[in-house]
Amino acid sequence: MMIFVVPSTVLGISLIRYYNNPSLNFIYGSVFIIILAYLGRFGFIASRIIANGLKQIPDTFREAASLMGVHPIKVFFKITVPLLIPSLFAAFILSFILCLGELGVVIMVYPPGAELMNIKLFTVSANAPLALTSTMTLINLALTGLLMVLFFFTGKVLLKKSRNASY
Amino acid sequence: MHHIELNHISHNYQDKKVLSDFSVLFGKGKTTCLIGPTGCGKTTILRLIAGLEIPSAGIIKVNNKTVSEGGKIIIPPHKRNIGFVFQDLALWPHFTVKDNIAFGLRAKKEKNISNRIGELLDLFHISDKINKYPHQLSGGQKQMVAIARSIVLQPDILLMDEPLASIDTHVKQNILEHVKELQHRLNFTMLYVTHNHREAFHTGDTIVVLNEGRILSEGTKDEIINSSDTFIKSFLET
């Protein structure tokens, strides 16, 4: 939770300070650094949503299976994971939306050739004509909207499948 | 012959002492009902026997074998051959009735799974619900599925933690008759937890009355009814 009060620029500087050395260049020079930046910035939100989902699964579900001699790994994949799907999906959507709008950290750490849409937009808005900026903004908005519609329908299917999981 | 023995058991939930120096014996093939007010330790006793809780002190024996001893699990829950019907039934909501019952059978690589499930569902008259999900069943049907799931592995001991709370008397009696029939056929020992003394008198060969982690009285229905203990008298009046 504390990470949320750390300004994005501070997080960006810490990532640079830690990963900007030759032995970790395979992370610092690749898209992994962007993934790490997103994880550091919003990972806790996803983890809180998933943890809440886990809390809602009664212990007796696991206990009933363990009394029958079902292996814990099988219990996890056959009982826990299917019941967690709505929480996993919610965590993914929220993280995705937040990551789309994140600029403070990624602008500091993105490696060459891995410019994200929002970084490009930010750069273009400062240097290019307004028409180009507007077009790119519209494309960005349309892509985001399209993804949201896709998530909405995927979510509906997933929730329909997990409707049996109302416990 | 005693099937289950709890000797000088103590158990705490965090700082709260639930059982202290608690001892009791349960006879083989018999039905013992544990009755008492909420929080008196009934469920804890079942969970300790099943191995879902570890006693902080004392010894638990099943079939003369020590299964738990002073803070340690000697025999893990799945090797105790115990069926447990939980208060919330714990039916997996994303599994059909068939899959709920078959899950344990498949894990143990048992044969004739379909036949065994069909036989049990026939007994409970819910064969037509085999492909339904728990949310598509009535309260009574869910309870029957939970019982069928616990019995299908042919346990030596069946632990029932208030599984028939919140259903009407007629359905309850119907289910209990089926369970009794199964017990007669499979000869398992049954511990039945309830806070309803009428249900206990109808079901149990022996009744154990508990309060605050202690046994107040133990005996047949008549012995409990004729008890002079003031708590028992007031409990039976409720």
Confidence of residue A163 (pLDDT cuts 50, 70, 90): low
d(CA B236, CA B238): 5
B16 close contact with A: CB closer than 8 A: no
Give the global pTM.
0.84
Chain B CB contacts of A78 below 8 Å = 103
Chain B CB contacts of A84 below 8 Å = none
Within 10 angstroms of residue B229's Cβ, the number of other Cβ atoms is 14
CA B80 to chain A, closest CA, distance in angstroms equals 8
For B96-114, what is each residue's pLDDT tens digit? 999 999 999 999 888 889 9
Residue B90 above 80 pLDDT?
A: yes
Homologous superfamily in CATH for domain B2-237: P-loop containing nucleotide triphosphate hydrolases (3.40.50.300)
B219 close contact with A: CB closer than 8 A: no
Nearest by CB to B133, which of A70, A78, A164?
A164
User: In terms of C-beta density within 10 A (0-12 exposed, 13-18 middle, 19 or more buried), how is residue B213 classed?
Assistant: buried
B90 close contact with A: CB closer than 8 A: yes
Range of the domain at A54: 2-165
Mean pLDDT of chain B: 91
Provide the pLDDT for residue B208.
94
**Structural domains counted in chain A:** 1
Residue A166 above 60 pLDDT?
A: no
Provide the pLDDT for residue A82.
92
Under 8 Å between Cβ of B167 and B139:
yes
What are the structure tokens assigned to A70, written together? 């079902």
Chain A CB contacts of B77 below 8 Å = 63, 66-67
**Best of A57, A66, A67, A71 to mutate (most B CBs within 10 Å, chain B):** A67
Half-sphere exposure of A140 (CA within 13 A, CB side): 16
Task: Determine, for residues A65 and B104 on separate chains, whether the beta-carbon distance falls below 8 Å.
Answer: yes
d(CA B45, CA B21): 12
CATH at A91: 1.10.3720.10
Under 8 Å between Cβ of B235 and B196:
no
Provide the pLDDT for residue A165.
53
Which value does ipTM take for this structure?
0.90
Chain B CB contacts of A164 below 8 Å = 93-94, 133-135
Provide the pLDDT for residue A36.
93
Q: Among B155, B145, B152, which Cα is nearest to B187's?
A: B155
Confidence of residue B16 (pLDDT cuts 50, 70, 90): confident
CA distances from A72 to A67, A68, A80, A155 (A): 11, 11, 10, 28
Could you tell me how many CB contacts below 8 A there are between chain A and chain B?
63
